[in-house]
Amino acid sequence: MENTFLFFDVKKIFAKVSLILMALFVLSGYAHATRIKDMADVKGVRENQLVGYGLIVGLNGSGDGKDSKFTFQSLASMLERMGVTVNAKDIEKAQNVAAVMVTADLPAFANVGSRIDVTVSSIGDAESLTAGTLLVTPLKGADGKVYAVAQGPVNTDAFSVSGKAAKVGKNFPTVARIVGGAIIENEIPYDFVNKGTLSLILPRPDFTNAARVAKIINSALKSSAARTLDAGTIEVEVPKEYSGRTVELVAMIEQLDVTPDKSSMVVFNERTGTVVLGENVKIATVAIAHGNLSIEIKETADVSQPMPFSQGGSLFGGSGPSGPPVESRDGSAIVAPGANTAITYDTDIGVAEEKSKLFLVRSTVTISEVVRALNALGVTPRDLMAIFQALKVAGALHATIEVM
């Protein structure tokens, strides 16, 4: 009886372990899955850029100076429209006004009367926009039509304090933001609900990903409503059950999971020395030797001082007793003894080239093997840039190089 009890207990444990392993196997298939919402956009559903020219007033002496003549011409024109006639030259001394460019993004499906944030940037020589107020500024689109109007107190979240010999500041006081500072006056018409088809756009066109997205959508709809037009466009016919409910259809499609195919790519950022390797980067068997050449330049300055009691022994000119000229060690200056005080330079240049060994890097299969092989060389990120470029020329790097 004891043996039987143990036998059934082991079977239960084995069954539970099998279920756990199967669950882990299934979950691993979705480990790299991505929602369609995160890899595709709906065609036509996008923001539109707005821009306008305006004036900020109420600055505490930190506005545009008299050199920014367009600021005072704009102020004079605005006052004239309000019934006040003034000459632009008469208000050039006022430093509490600044000319700015106002920018904003008009969201898709934005309604008249809703508010959007705006960014205000100085275009003159203003020192700070802190505590200023933006006057009414129409914001236009690329078609020249006014879609929003901005106005309100600005917020820079910065400061700038200066004296005659020092200056202290935080962030950028010449760029400000107004939260909800613009009111939408016109809408961009877009008939989204009654359309018979909708198109999904891949920001990074890829034939494999486009085909996978279409396949997942057709599987979810149990039809052939989705088809690929090219590497970056998937067209979906709205099924009859979703007629008039296009928003629900898009919401359902956005939540579908797709395992995207990633290109083999190596990205360089030479400004920061950053190197990023994609998941599918592979290197063929190759031998690498990489050495460093270091050059050190040391330069010291010296002063050639005239003899005591000689005339012209000053940095400000004069002449002293003549004598045969003497050339400095590196030939950078010629000094006559007893002449004016002069500065000479002594330059030492040293060149050192490190010895390098030839390393054999075998063909790699995974990104971890690539990293281990390159770490064995003990190179810096900037050295990696040169090595990867050489591997690409040699045909040993199976990836695309992109320089930022």
Do the Cβ atoms of 97 and 63 come closer than 8 Å? yes
Specify the pLDDT at position 62.
87
Structure-derived torsion over alpha carbons of residues 189, 195, 197, 201, reported in degrees to the nearest 10:
20
Please report the pLDDT score of residue 315 as a whole number: 44
* CA within 13 Å, CB half, 239: 16
Angle at the Cα of 398 (from 397 to 402), degrees rounded to 5? 80
- In this prediction the pTM is 0.64
Q: Which residue in this structure is represented by tokens 């001082």?
A: 305
Give me the phi and psi of 231, to 5 degrees please. -70, -15
Query: Which pLDDT belongs to residue 8?
Result: 45
pLDDT (0 to 100) of residue 220: 93
pLDDT of res. 172 = 83
The confidence score (pLDDT) of residue 27 equals 42
- Alpha helices (H) along 183-281: 207-221, 246-254
Non-local (6+) Cβ contacts of 277 within 8 A are: 266, 367, 370, 371, 399
Give the pLDDT of residue 23.
47
pLDDT of residue 26: 43
* CA distance linking residue 362 with residue 390, whole number of Å: 16
What does the pLDDT read at residue 158?
73
Give the per-residue pLDDT at 402: 83
Nearest to 277 by CA among 289, 264, 288: 264
Is there a contact between 35 and 254 (Cβ–Cβ < 8 Å)? yes
Q: One digit per residue, pLDDT tens: the chain, 404 residues?
A: 444 444 445 455 545 555 554 444 444 444 468 899 999 999 888 899 999 999 999 998 888 988 888 899 998 999 888 888 888 888 877 889 999 999 999 998 889 999 999 999 999 999 889 889 999 999 999 999 999 999 999 998 876 666 666 667 777 899 999 999 999 999 888 777 778 889 999 998 999 999 999 999 999 999 999 999 999 999 999 999 988 888 899 999 999 999 888 878 888 887 787 888 877 788 777 777 666 555 555 667 677 776 666 555 444 444 444 445 555 555 554 444 445 677 776 767 665 656 656 666 677 656 677 777 777 767 777 777 887 888 788 888 888 888 87
In this predicted structure, what is the pLDDT of residue 201?
Answer: 93
Longest Cα separation, the chain: 123
- The pLDDT of residue 281 is 81
